[in-house]
Amino acid sequence: MAHSAVERRLSTIAASVEAALDGVLSLEAGAGETARPARLVEAMRYAMLGGGKRLRPALVVLTAEMLRADTAGALRAGLAVECVHGYSLIHDDLPAMDDDALRRGRPTLHRAFDEATAILAGDALLTLAFDLLAAPATHPDAQVRIGLVSELARAAGVGGMVGGQMLDLAAEGRFSGAPAEPQDEAAVLRLQAMKTGALIAAPIVMGAALGGATPEQRVALAAYGRALGAAFQVADDLLDVEGEAATVGKATGKDAAAGKATLVAALGVDGARRRLADLTAQAGDALSPFGADAEGLRDLARFVAERRA
């Protein structure tokens, strides 16, 4: 796919994600549920609907499609990852965490609703993710579905995304009472691999599982996922330094102001740009066993590296 072809494919997937989330985040109680409080569902919809790149669901779908797996099941697994991503943003934005007022150019959930509702909406989205994965519509084989649950739980938990957010707060000096300390490169890489990398790599591994990948293919796709996750974060750090708030949809320059542990702080802008090029090349190399079939994933890595928002 050429660059614009990737963007077209991402747009199509994003539209499917939006429509599917609209259906899932419904006021109607599902099987085994008593009732769904309207305000809570509205808060979940506010946070989850109305756009977003939907990169994580796209990673499940594109990986599964490369392996000729069912797109509907992959989309559903992608919704689960998107719910985890959405919950993490809601909780990260809370006053006790990053205290952010804007997200994608709109008031954050706790500003638009209130803090209690935002905490509970995040909790409900995290829980919903596992409910979605568990249903037969995701994949007919229970063994595959339980593998997805396991993968997502590891990526999101104490040794993954949540652990990474904890390290991020610690790096800001939040728990020591001391000002933020410059983190060395190894510490920044570990923090970022956990906080954002894990939830970029997991949907690729999940797509591999849905597509019945061989062990060798899984190893290759996991390597692609790690490189892509790292590239995504470097691009994000660069955007915070170089981007315009209007394009990025949130305040920029915040990382430096907060003393955040970023790779730009550790390597400088030029060093970070070189690292980004290396990681994009690594991501492409990891896909070599798939030949031309991996063109979509290869273009996606370039797209992630070059994104402006």
Task: Name the one residue in this structure whose structure tokens are 């849905």.
Answer: 210
143 binds a second copy (CB under 8 A): yes
Rounded Cα distance between 155 and 161, Å, is: 6
| Element spanning 106, H or E | strand 106-107
Q: 150: which 2 tokens? A: 């396991």
Helix (H) or strand (E) holding 102: strand 102-103
Would you say how long the chain is, in residues? Answer: 309
Return the range that interacts with a second copy (CB under 8 A); candidates 15-23, 63-71, 100-108, 133-141: 133-141
Number of amino acids touching a second copy (CB under 8 A): 66
The set of residues, in sequence order, having a beta carbon less than 8 Å from that of 147 and lying 6+ positions away, is: 209
Angle at 237 between CA 235 and CA 239, to 5 degrees: 70
Stretch 21-80 residues interacting with a second copy (CB under 8 A):
29-37, 39-41, 44
- Beta carbon nearer to a second copy, 88 or 262: 88
Query: What is the rounded distance in angstroms from the CA atom of residue 146 to the CA atom of residue 144?
Result: 6
Beta bridge partners of 106: 103
By CB under 8 A, what part of segment 150-209 binds a second copy? Answer: 150-160, 162-167, 169-170, 174-175, 190, 193-194, 198
Q: How far is the CB of 256 from a second copy (least distance, A)?
A: 21
Q: Closest distance between a second copy and the C-beta of residue 288, in Å?
A: 24
Residue 258 touches a second copy, criterion: CB under 8 A: no
Q: Is 96 in the site for a second copy (CB under 8 A)?
A: yes
- The binding site for a second copy (CB under 8 A) comprises 29-37, 39-41, 44, 87, 91, 94, 96-97, 114-117, 119-120, 122-124, 126-128, 130-131, 133-135, 142-143, 145-147, 149-160, 162-167, 169-170, 174-175, 190, 193-194, 198
